[in-house]
A and B are shown apart, each in its own frame.
Chain A
Amino acid sequence: MKFKELPPVKEQIRKCVRCGRCRTVCPVFAEVKNETVAPRGHVFMVQMLRDGVVKPDSKVYEHLSKCLLCETCSTFCPSGIDIHELNAAARSFITENQSNPGKRLVFDTLWTSPKLLRASTAFMWSANVTGLMKLARALHLTKVLPGDLPKAEQILDRVPFRSARDQLHETIPAQGKKKLRVAYFLGCATNLLHPEVALATVKVLTQSGCEVVIPRDLKCCGLPHIANGKLGTARSLLLHNFELLSRAKVDYIVTDCASCSSALSDKNVRFVLGQEEIDANLALTAGKVVDLTAFLVNVLDIGPGNLVKRSEHRLTYHDPCHLAKAQNIRKEPRELLRLVPGVELVEMAEPDRCCGGSGTFALTHYDMSMKILDKKMSAIRNTGCDTVATCCPSCSMQLAYGFRRSRVNGKVVHPVELLAQALP
């Protein structure tokens, strides 16, 4: 669809009264403190782009990219503007008008093919020794993610040798009586960087009576593409994934990754595909998507029943933006944590304040990302906990780096890992 015809662009820009309320919650604005990064400023600049007052060039892109797409402003705007959608749409409009071969390679070729992505992480595994820079250069990543990459390479932790997909069958039977058939949307980051989370998810689901299907040809959820000005690619990824998921004939589609569940959510599907591309079948499939935490609490209604193994954890919980703001899922992960015998949950100040990771943002805007991370780490420090639970691999990576950076021996876990440990 044409940029100007996109619903948020067409209908929402005019609703901005420029009251500035959104300035007060934006984590980037809190660091930079001038209007050029205010959410209100982004709405204004998208309007300028729409009206042809500014050209769709890299300078405008650079301005708009100083945004985490964390959605905090969108939930806070009384006019009801999806500020992050406007921003994402504008990034795509600019990218379409520019040629950037590096970006095409990464987002259109590499990140649309699970195999290639897998191969490059295998390469990254060895690159942990030789340096990510070398890999980045080899992939022309430096051209896509300019400037901050040399510093940003530190964020990436050791890449596990075996991905989750390597360790899991396509269909895993339910243990005991089968209650539901569930598709597990195994996201790229969980698959490649946190296979232990995927294993825990499968264990918890199957032990709760779910037959789990992991369709082999699932591709990326498209969120990195949305953030990097590749709405078109995100669109084809979504269509591809929903096609596969629809064929899987499942009762529910769950994912343990907040970014994936938000990307597959009804709201985002409407944004990416537009109303007219959503037929009844697709709507039906999209309606089955639910974040793992909400699924366990609201659908399976899991109780303390089998959670028998006790292990002492004093921990705090970080709300991923894509869960708390994008989907208003806040109480479910906490409920799960409280179910685990031996867990003491200590709330940090502003648990839903963005950690600054936001997928590729930490790579493209390293210094700003670190300032935002520092605030988060100090909130964590004030709880006295050295374990943080969260439900998003991007947050996990960022927070783990936060611990390393401040030389604290801390740990980041997904609530489902603790649940799995408590199971017999």
Chain B
Amino acid sequence: MDKRVLKQEMLKILQPEQVLADDLDLMYYSYDSSFLTKLERVYPDIVVLPRATEQVQRIVRFAYENNIPVTPRGAGTGETGGAVAFNGGIVIDLSTWDEIVEVDVSNMQVVVRPGVIHADLNNHLAKFNLFFPPDPGSSLMCTIGGMVANNASGLRAVKYGCTEQYVLGLEVVLPNGEVITTGGIRSKAIKNVSGLNLTKLMVGSEGVLGIITKIRLRCWPKPKARGIAMAVFSKLDDAPATVLEVYQAGILPSGIEILDKSAIKAVNQFKPEIGLPEDAEAILLFEVDGNAPSVEWEGTNIVEIAKRRATKVEWATDPQRMASLWEGRSVTATAAARVRPDGSRVFAGEDISVPLSRVAEALRAIRSLGEKYGIPVVNYGHIGDGNVHTAPVIDPENPAEAEKANQLVHEIHLLAIELEGSTTGEHGVGAVRRQYAELEHGEALKVMRLIKNAVDPKGIMNPGKLI
């Protein structure tokens, strides 16, 4: 469709400041955090920033009638190109629609619009002694809509699981412009097995089945106490072994994170005041939460267990120290770039997930793959559930290096499948991991496609992603 006509049509639905149609403006929507969108630049035909279900509905209906691709977008922190319009068309940027509609304290629920930022939500919920447990490293910037669409999790998935466990119901604008409510149109029930579980179908659907416009989340009481144990290892293999021993001792920490040698260095360069031990091969951060006596008990036992292999163990309950250790971990993703002065970490092959029993094997294999390609790989991540982030650090503007990095991450993805894991633990498939769908799902992929075709017969909703 002619871009001017498209703009005029959108202006019938939205205010001028909610429509971006200048060529220059559109360029800014050519990327998310993925390496792919650094290498390839594609622009949408228009960007719209709606703030009402009816607006989204009218936009989508118009797109449906005119066969225009639609790409939903949150904060654009995804690593898969999911929020980028590879087929052009309309980008619906939902990040300005950031209203917390209702905190239902007595039912321990919160209703939000998709653009609410994760950290803002938890700051707000803290006033009611509640929290929404999934804790992505991108907490400060990612939207709840993006989290639901990606079934995000993060640093606390060990104990609290992923976003899907907390979504009670969704309002979704379907590709034909119809609006549905999943989980029961009136239901605020926490347990609900009535009907096919469309909520679960939508969570993690990466925007290919519709636009999420309202989210009802279950919240949990905010734990009263918290502690972090940092264990320092001189052998990489000792880290996963210690994780298993902590579980075997009957302890379920709220988070278990690993940073390898280079990740430690990177964090220290960005935030020297955190002072992570540089003489280590790896460190583990165990977070425990709950009531004070149980935190103390679990902390003491973790420290005891870790001491068997660790060269040093620190137990922190001082809020400032805990905040800085946790921050250290959550900035690793980007700070990894620091290990090479002229380099950058790339978000590619960064999210494999393997069975707990094979984490050590995975870490060793990744290390030798890095050596094979001559590319430093920073390893960090949610080791407690086998979800390891591998950050190749390269000069992304050097085509030969970029090519090598792409070969490396391809091998990392195949490795994950070979180790009976998955190519992605939380970041999703998007455009970058679609090639592995057949290998991972076999016949089930056909059923996924049947569902997609039934919901989106014209294929306008986030084409080129997921399946």
Say whether B141 contacts A23, CB under 8 Å: yes
Say whether A17 contacts B96, CB under 8 Å: no
Give the contacting residue for A35; candidates B22, B29, B334, B341; CB below 8 A: B29
In the docked arrangement, what's the CA distance between A20 and B138, Å? 9
Say whether B141 contacts A14, CB under 8 Å: no
Task: List, in ascending order, chain A residues with CB within 8 A of B337's CB.
Answer: 15, 17, 78-80
Say whether A34 contacts B344, CB under 8 Å: no
Residue in B closest to A51 when the chains form the complex, CB atoms: B397
Task: Assess whether B2 is interfacial by the CB under 8 Å rule.
Answer: no
Chain A contact residue count (CB 8 A cutoff): 29
Task: Assess whether B380 is interfacial by the CB under 8 Å rule.
Answer: no
Task: Assess whether B166 is interfacial by the CB under 8 Å rule.
Answer: no
Task: List, in ascending order, chain B residues with CB within 8 A of A11's CB.
Answer: 341-342
Give the contacting residue for A79; candidates B75, B119, B141, B338; CB below 8 A: B338
Task: Assess whether A121 is interfacial by the CB under 8 Å rule.
Answer: no
Give the distance to chain A from B28, nearest Cβ to Cβ, in Å: 4
Say whether A20 contacts B344, CB under 8 Å: no
Say whether A77 contacts B334, CB under 8 Å: yes
Give the distance to chain B from A51, nearest Cβ to Cβ, in Å: 9
Residue in B closest to A41 when the chains form the complex, CB atoms: B28
Say whether B28 contacts A35, CB under 8 Å: yes
Task: List, in ascending order, chain A residues with CB within 8 A of B347's CB.
Answer: 17
Residue in B closest to A35 when the chains form the complex, CB atoms: B28
Say whether B270 contacts A78, CB under 8 Å: yes
- Provide the B26-55 mask, 1 if CB < 8 A to any CB of A, else 0: 011101110001100100000101000000
Task: List, in ascending order, chain A residues with CB within 8 A of B49's CB.
Answer: 33-34
Give the contacting residue for B25; candidates A18, A24, A36; CB below 8 A: A36
Give the distance to chain A from B120, nearest Cβ to Cβ, in Å: 9
Task: Assess whether A63 is interfacial by the CB under 8 Å rule.
Answer: yes
Say whether B138 contacts A19, CB under 8 Å: yes
- A39-65 contacts to B, CB under 8 A, are 41, 44-45, 48, 53-54, 59-60, 63
Say whether A17 contacts B345, CB under 8 Å: yes
In the docked arrangement, what's the CA distance between A18 and B334, Å? 9
Task: List, in ascending order, chain B residues with CB within 8 A of A41's CB.
Answer: 28
Say whether A17 contacts B29, CB under 8 Å: no
- Provide the B133-153 mask, 1 if CB < 8 A to any CB of A, else 0: 000001011100000000000
- Provide the B159-201 mask, 1 if CB < 8 A to any CB of A, else 0: 0000000000000000000000000000000000000000000
Task: Assess whether A38 is interfacial by the CB under 8 Å rule.
Answer: yes
Q: A24-B141, A36-B24 are in contact. List 15 more A-B contacts (CB 8 A).
A: A14-B343, A15-B337, A15-B344, A17-B33, A17-B333, A17-B346, A18-B33, A20-B75, A20-B141, A23-B141, A24-B140, A35-B93, A45-B27, A79-B334, A79-B335
Task: List, in ascending order, chain B residues with CB within 8 A of A79's CB.
Answer: 334-335, 337-338, 344
Say whether A78 contacts B335, CB under 8 Å: yes
Task: List, in ascending order, chain A residues with CB within 8 A of B25's CB.
Answer: 36
- A68-87 contacts to B, CB under 8 A, are 77-80
Give the distance to chain B from A82, nearest Cβ to Cβ, in Å: 14
Give the distance to chain A from B137, nearest Cβ to Cβ, in Å: 9
- Of the listed residues A59, A77, A78, A79, the one surrounded by the most CB atoms of chain B closer than 10 A to its CB is A78
Task: Assess whether B262 is interfacial by the CB under 8 Å rule.
Answer: no
In the docked arrangement, what's the CA distance between A79 and B336, Å? 7
In the docked arrangement, what's the CA distance between A91 and B76, Å? 26
Say whether B93 contacts A34, CB under 8 Å: yes
Say whether B338 contacts A59, CB under 8 Å: no
**Listed A/B pairs (18) with beta-carbon separation below 8 Å:** A11-B342, A14-B343, A18-B33, A18-B38, A18-B76, A19-B138, A19-B141, A21-B138, A33-B96, A36-B28, A38-B28, A45-B28, A53-B41, A54-B24, A77-B334, A78-B270, A78-B331, A78-B333
User: Once A and B bind, how many residue pairs between them come within 8 Å at the CB atom?
Assistant: 101
- Provide the B314-354 mask, 1 if CB < 8 A to any CB of A, else 0: 00000000000000000101110110011111110000000
Task: Assess whether A16 is interfacial by the CB under 8 Å rule.
Answer: yes
Give the contacting residue for A54; candidates B27, B343, B396; CB below 8 A: B27
Task: List, in ascending order, chain B residues with CB within 8 A of A78's CB.
Answer: 270, 331, 333-335, 337-338
- Provide the B262-278 mask, 1 if CB < 8 A to any CB of A, else 0: 00000001100000000
Task: List, in ascending order, chain B residues with CB within 8 A of A48's CB.
Answer: 27
Given contacts A19-B333, A21-B140, contact A34 B20 (CB under 8 A): yes
Task: List, in ascending order, chain A residues with CB within 8 A of B22's CB.
Answer: 59
- Of the listed residues A14, A19, A54, A80, the one surrounded by the most CB atoms of chain B closer than 10 A to its CB is A19
Say whether A80 contacts B24, CB under 8 Å: no
In the docked arrangement, what's the CA distance between A60 and B22, Å? 12
Task: List, in ascending order, chain A residues with CB within 8 A of B396's CB.
Answer: 14
In the docked arrangement, what's the CA distance between A23 and B115, Å? 14
- A268-327 contacts to B, CB under 8 A, are none
Task: List, in ascending order, chain A residues with CB within 8 A of B28's CB.
Answer: 34-36, 38, 41, 44-45
Say whether B395 contacts A60, CB under 8 Å: no
Give the distance to chain A from B467, nearest Cβ to Cβ, in Å: 25
Give the distance to chain B from A249, nearest Cβ to Cβ, in Å: 36
Task: List, in ascending order, chain A residues with CB within 8 A of B47's CB.
Answer: 34
Task: Assess whether B117 is interfacial by the CB under 8 Å rule.
Answer: yes
Task: Assess whether B109 is interfacial by the CB under 8 Å rule.
Answer: no
- Provide the B379-394 mask, 1 if CB < 8 A to any CB of A, else 0: 0000000000000000
Task: List, in ascending order, chain A residues with CB within 8 A of B41's CB.
Answer: 53
Task: Assess whether B122 is interfacial by the CB under 8 Å rule.
Answer: no
Say whether A18 contacts B32, CB under 8 Å: yes
Residue in B closest to A80 when the chains form the complex, CB atoms: B338
Residue in A closest to B394 when the chains form the complex, CB atoms: A14
Given contacts A60-B24, A79-B334, contact A17 B344 (CB under 8 A): yes
Give the contacting residue for B76; candidates A24, A33, A35, A53; CB below 8 A: A35
Task: List, in ascending order, chain A residues with CB within 8 A of B77's CB.
Answer: 19-20
Task: Assess whether B80 is interfacial by the CB under 8 Å rule.
Answer: no
Give the distance to chain B from A61, nearest Cβ to Cβ, in Å: 11
In the docked arrangement, what's the CA distance between A127 and B345, Å? 55
Task: List, in ascending order, chain B residues with CB within 8 A of A36's CB.
Answer: 20, 24-25, 28
Across chains A and B, which 4 residue pairs bring their CB atoms closest together, nearest first? Answer: A78-B334, A78-B335, A35-B28, A79-B337
- Provide the B199-240 mask, 1 if CB < 8 A to any CB of A, else 0: 000000000000000000000000000000000000000000
Give the contacting residue for A24; candidates B31, B117, B269, B343; CB below 8 A: B117
